[in-house]
Structure 1
């Protein structure tokens, strides 16, 4: 993975007991990943830089890969809540678009860290094996919403297709955002979700001239 100039990592004085958090561990780890590379950074490196023991690290994350994904299960639970809150009179694809856009809306102050996270997730081969399970959970949340609104079984073609299509749209928007640092993530997500809602008609796909 291409990285920018090395990021200095603040290391606490040896022997000082540190209080930490998920966010602090991620901050320290991302700094090390930028400095040394993901594959070259060990859990021991992260624990030492954070001023905690190796065993304490595992109180927060089961692995280095889990740290990069963050508290993903909590995030998927939030997506479910956003979908469940959609008024029943809002069309399914409109409700889905609004929920996915809200789910991917971040305060500008955290966007640099989020960009680092997503660049790792989408580009580091060692993280790709984890993506199957994580992506399945995300797509399943969408499928459950569609099944509830349509009466189809959750493992039926329609809910599964919408879930996988929405996932592909979100990932494509993220890749575009990573390639173009001047782009707006929320706008890209909204446009990607709008396009899948149109059914990819010629009119929808043709750029304004």
Structure 2
């Protein structure tokens, strides 16, 4: 209901009262599901983050970090065919509505944190160290670039675009001979486990 109203009237012009009325619920009930109007386009994002976190935790310890992140991002964005049209409208709204950008930045930060925490655990670092934070930013940027291409009406499917964008993570996180220590502990970010070898 909300997305139909947003499409017809615009996000900023659609009131919470109108959304509640269209859904057949009261305003207070609506706010029990969504803390604010800005949260409505994000749906069950927090539940998705928890699934992403658990998916990464379940990864085998010997899987390369770049592969784990790649697979996790693909899984996070997996959709049933019937859900694709609404998801396209959701992402178009989130990526192109100026009024949503500040709120979206908070959501993106939470997503990056999940990735950073996983990478930090694998490399024996803190999630606030340079490498984990960078991987969080890079992987988010790759995913958003894929979404922008998808929304532009390219022929490739969303999974194909995400897969292609994330493939370059391998170049970023694959270490050559003798590169392990420098990749694990960037300048100014000493490893919390200096004796641990960086995974491939």
Shared topology, TM-score over 0.5?
Answer: yes
Of 74, 95, 99, the residue aligned with 2:68 is: 95
Partner of 1:110: 83
Q: How far, CA to CA, are the matches of 2:133 and 2:165 in structure 1?
A: 18
Spell out structure 1 runs of 4+ moving beyond 3 A. Answer: none
Of 21, 27, 36, the residue aligned with 1:54 is: 27
Matches within 5 A, 1:92-171: 92-171=65-144
Partner of 2:40: 67
Shift of 1:199: 3.4
Q: How far, CA to CA, are the matches of 1:182 and 1:41 in structure 2?
A: 32
Q: How far, CA to CA, are the matches of 2:127 and 2:36 in structure 1?
A: 31
Please list the CA deviations of residues 9-63 of structure 1 after superposition, one character each: whole Å capped at 9, or x if unmatched: xxxxxxxxxxxxxxxxxxx100111111111110011111111111111111111
Q: How far, CA to CA, are the matches of 2:102 and 2:88 in structure 1?
A: 20
Gaps of 5+ in 2: 174-200
Shift of 1:197: 2.0
- Matched length: 173
Q: In structure 2, the residue corresponding to 1:79 is in which secondary structure? A: helix
Q: How far, CA to CA, are the matches of 1:162 and 1:197 in structure 2?
A: 11
Q: In structure 1, the residue corresponding to 2:168 is in which secondary structure? A: helix
Partner of 1:29: 2
Which structure's relative contact order is higher, taking Cα pairs within 8 Å and 6+ residues apart?
Answer: 2
Please list the CA deviations of residues 141-188 of structure 1 after superposition, one character each: whole Å capped at 9, or x if unmatched: 000000110101211111011111011111111111101253211111
Q: In structure 2, the residue corresponding to 1:86 is in which secondary structure? A: coil
Q: How far, CA to CA, are the matches of 1:138 and 1:128 in structure 2?
A: 15
CA contact (8 A) 1:169 1:196 kept: no
Q: TM-score, normalised by structure 1?
A: 0.80
Q: How far, CA to CA, are the matches of 1:99 and 1:60 in structure 2?
A: 27
Shift of 1:95: 1.1
Q: TM-score, normalised by structure 2?
A: 0.83
Of 1, 4, 14, the residue aligned with 1:41 is: 14
